[in-house]
Chain A
Amino acid sequence: MTTRDGSALTRRLDRILKGHAWFVYLFFYLPILVLIVFSFNESRFFTWEALSLRWYRQMFANDNLMAALWASLQVAAVSTVISTALGTAAALALERYKRFLGKRTFDALLYLPVIIPDVTMAAMLLVFFTSLGRQLSITTIVLSHIAFNISFVSIVVRARLANLDPALEEAAADLYAGRWQAFRKITLPLIMPGVLGGALLALTLSLDDVVITQFVKGPDTLPTFVFGLIKRGVTPEINAVSTLMLTASVVLVLGSLALQRRN
């Protein structure tokens, strides 16, 4: 930025911007910090009593909650793997092949799940499964999560592919690499950060989703279970679960940043 005009006014404006930025960071982090602090409080109320792991013990002893956590992990793992594979293939098709049957329709179809509101998607999947006569179960949750995750994965991978130099793949072909060999040795390693980024996004979205899961669920996932608890009222046990979920998110973000840096 220009420092040529180092007038008092500019400096004051900069100070205001700085103050504003600190205020926004406070806004971002104060609620989270309050949750974490009170999850370690002995008291049931929001007045500090003593440091305690009481609510964490209670959380791990809650069988329903542990079952929901396990269901969440299963749904997230399966839907992430499948949607990453499908979404990556879709991204390759759209970025690397000039035309194929129905390409434009496919392109539009791939965007829709991103912009459609959660409640509409939830409603239509519920109606769909019921009109097929399908019993709602963990399988219907997984199928629904894949349906919204394919699009997010493909967008992330496409962004990476668009920035790649196709000359690299052409060079491999010139050197008599087979199609599969060129893909495995050149393309795949180059798009790997995009694929991992897409997988991470899919994992996070699957672990976050409340609305769609609420409609198509058989068993509770962790978010729908916690949502039910919250609606019944605030308890320190929810603070403990929340802290656990927060830690998982932060670990995922920092992990992905470390991964990006290495590439």
Chain B
Amino acid sequence: MTTDGPVTAELEADAERAESRRGLFLALPSYIYLLFLFALPLLIIGVYSFASRSRTGMPKLEAWNLDSITKLFTDDLIRSIFARSLIVAILTTAFCLLVGYPFAYYIATRSEKTRNILLVFVMIPFWTNFLVRTYAWRVLLGEDGLITELGRFLNLWDSMLFTLPAVYIGLVYGYLPFMVLPLYAAIERLDWSLVEAARDLYASGWVAFRRVTLPLTKQGIIAGSILVFIPSLGAYVTPDILGGAKTTLIGNYVVNQFLTARNWPLGSSVSMAIMVVMLIATIWYFRSGAKTL
């Protein structure tokens, strides 16, 4: 028995090493793929943020400098576009939450059969092509579109196309399902006996909602908000189709720097800045106790 100990320990270590080799073997293809087609490109634009712009628009690395980085903080145009994008992203998230919460609450409190049917009708827009859904609003908000006609009939608004309200409508429409689904999941999981207990202790409906239901569904609120905030901040398609020259958002600015103005160093530094904001938002989300997106 005494000689048995070290031998089994060694065997165990061997088995563990073999296990770990098998794990690495499974991970390796995607590991290598992401290192080359994700980590490396990310590193390159990080480096390009410090490059200077050559006459062809391609970055020159010999004369590296902080121009593109300082421009982020000093250039009035970039600053105002960045500020506008942040406000748009925050307000879009707030609108989605205000519309989405009561909606998800309604679905989650139906009978199981009704719930499933109602949910399918949320899944369909969720999976439907984003470009097509944005284009639909171009039609509705256009010169002779249904919503424009309605506004004229009520004497309240004219064609909103190419204005900021059109961009808001498009973004809320596009990202509302991302808010509703996590909210639904959180409300559906809720232990209703806790709400009932609050009511038994003479809490009014509103107090029970604010002190029990809302804190217990916090995880869904945060998950939905992150899922709406991130794509809204980087939005390019929606402002491009529904917005105008005065509603340029940071996503349009980046695309413009790369595909039209051909200032790659500046485009690189702005896109890195967007990414930093996203990372902060995401880290804050995981800090709040979430384990997965």
Contacts and interface: CB of A to CB of B under 8 A. Distances in A.
Q: Do A and B bind each other?
A: yes
A188 to B, nearest CB: 13
Contacts of B251: 117-119, 211
A173 interface: no
Contacts of B278: 115-117
Contacts of B282: 115
A86 B30 contact: yes
Nearest to A252: B127
A5 B209 CA distance: 14
B254 A119 contact: yes
B42 to A, nearest CB: 5
B38 A113 contact: yes
B5 to A, nearest CB: 23
A151 to B, nearest CB: 8
Contacts of B45: 120, 123-124, 127
Interface in B216-256: 230-231, 233-234, 236-237, 240-241, 251, 254-255
Interface string A80-106: 000000110110111011111111001
A128 B142 contact: no
B103 interface: yes
A176 interface: no
B292 A246 contact: no
A7 to B, nearest CB: 9
A: interface residue count bin? 35 or more
Contacts of B136: 31-32, 34-35, 242
Contacts of B41: 124-125, 127-128
B109 A1 contact: yes
Interface stretch (B62-70, B75-83, B116-124): B116-124
Contact of B132 (A2, A35, A115): A35
A25 B205 CA distance: 26
A185 interface: no
Interface in A207-263: 207-208, 210-211, 214-215, 223, 226-227, 230-231, 234, 238-239, 242, 245-246, 249-250, 252-253, 257
B15 interface: no
Interface stretch (A9-17, A51-59, A62-70, A163-171): A9-17
A24 B27 CA distance: 43
B276 to A, nearest CB: 10
Nearest to B24: A100
A98 B293 CA distance: 21
26 contacts: A24-B103, A29-B121, A31-B173, A34-B136, A34-B139, A86-B29, A89-B27, A89-B30, A93-B24, A97-B23, A115-B230, A115-B278, A115-B293, A117-B271, A119-B255, A119-B274, A127-B264, A128-B40, A144-B37, A147-B34, A155-B292, A211-B251, A211-B255, A242-B129, A246-B129, A253-B127
Interface of A: 1-2, 4-5, 9-10, 13, 17-18, 20-21, 24-25, 27-32, 34-35, 38, 45-47, 86-87, 89-90, 92-94, 96-103, 106, 109-120, 122-128, 130-131, 143-144, 146-147, 150, 154-155, 159, 204, 207-208, 210-211, 214-215, 223, 226-227, 230-231, 234, 238-239, 242, 245-246, 249-250, 252-253, 257
The 7 closest A-B pairs by CB, nearest first: A97-B23, A117-B234, A31-B136, A100-B23, A128-B41, A93-B27, A93-B26
Given A89-B30, A109-B34, A231-B241, 13 more contacts: A2-B195, A31-B137, A38-B139, A90-B30, A90-B31, A97-B19, A99-B23, A109-B39, A117-B231, A119-B254, A120-B274, A120-B275, A124-B45
Interface of B: 19-24, 26-27, 29-31, 33-35, 37-42, 44-45, 48, 58, 99, 102-103, 105-107, 109, 118, 120-125, 127-133, 135-140, 142, 144-146, 173, 176, 192, 195-196, 199, 205, 230-231, 233-234, 236-237, 240-241, 251, 254-255, 258-259, 264, 267-268, 271-272, 274-275, 278-279, 282, 292-293
